[in-house]
Amino acid sequence: MRIKKLSIIGLPMDLGQTRRGVDMGPSAIRYAGVVERLENLHIEIDDLGDIVVGRPRLIENPNSNLKNLELVSKANTMLAQKVDEIVASGSFPLVLGGDHSIAIGTLAGISKHYKSLGVIWYDAHGDLNTEATSPSGNIHGMPLAVSLGLGHPDLTDILDYTPKVKPENVVIIGARSLDEGERELIKEKGIRVFTMHEIDRLGMTRVMEEAIEYLKGRTDGVHLSLDLDGLDPNDAPGVGTPVIGGISYRESHLAMEMLAESEMVTSAEFVEVNPILDERNKTATVAVALMGSLFGEKLL
């Protein structure tokens, strides 16, 4: 799919976890020059700004151990409605986070437009926890499970349908930190996972070839959900939950370049950039560089 028009929408939210600062991610990514970078690729850019989350008073729900459930549900509903409008207009949605719980809203807005949406989850984590399995109650560790229809109805039922994604249409790339409940769910649902072991052993070229081939025949669109903590902390230090031994900067560029060549990606989000924990906006700059590769930027 050759992208001609792209709509950027930010959700500056850090309510899906407890380390503050990731709400400044969309601003950091814009400061790193995302609009200018993509305009250089002759793509028409419509920057729609950010959904207003504000600084709401945090309310604990005594009936749930999910942190900030009502607020996360409300923000994701607003995002889902906006993304729905973007897709309906024929534009490519590029969502800037925010913590990874925003994927709940992104996928809710996108999936209703596809019969069999595929998802590439580029992340150190599986984000497959539920209220029953989560050690922390942080919703940013649950968005993929929610999108599979597993979790609290305030999250799974956004835009009044569930599930958003089928487990056989999901590919996780870069996993190296999985909770016990997530490992069990991966085996139970048969989710395709390329851990760091596979990346080290097979190389990123083979991993991406297999991921692309796996999704190509079974999906009518593919959403890329890229968490910057999928990369090694040496390359992307400004993330809330860094895990050493991650995907390199160059491997990530190769992955994005191969996705660009496949022309299969129909929507994308980049999340978990935390400028408070960063080094001179390095992580946001990496995010923008990867977007360049995803949307067809070449050296020659």
Cα torsion angle, 112, 116, 119, 125, sign: positive
Residue 300 is assigned to a structural domain of this protein = no
**Would 299 be classed as within a structural domain?**
no
> Quick check: is 127 catalytic?
yes
User: What is the CATH classification number for the domain harbouring 38?
Assistant: 3.40.800.10
46 noted as active-site residue: no
Per-residue pLDDT for the chain (300 aa), expressed as one digit of tens each? Answer: 678 899 999 999 998 887 889 999 999 999 999 999 999 999 999 999 999 987 766 666 667 789 899 999 999 999 999 999 999 999 999 999 999 999 999 999 999 999 999 999 999 999 999 988 998 889 999 999 999 999 999 999 999 999 999 999 999 999 999 999 999 999 999 999 999 999 999 999 999 999 999 999 899 999 999 999 999 999 999 999 999 999 999 999 999 999 999 999 999 999 999 999 999 999 999 999 999 999 999 888
Tokens for 87, please give them. Answer: 């897709």
User: Residue 59 sits in which domain range?
Assistant: 5-294
140 in active site: yes
Please check whether residue 17 lies inside any domain of the structure: yes
Q: Is residue 203 part of a domain?
A: yes
How many distinct structural domains can be found in the chain?
1
Residue 138 forms part of a structural domain: yes
**Catalytic residue (one of 14, 23, 154, 229):** 229
- Torsional sign, CA 103, 104, 109, 112: positive
168 C-beta neighbours (distance < 10 Å), count = 16
Task: Give the DSSP letter of residue 21.
Answer: T
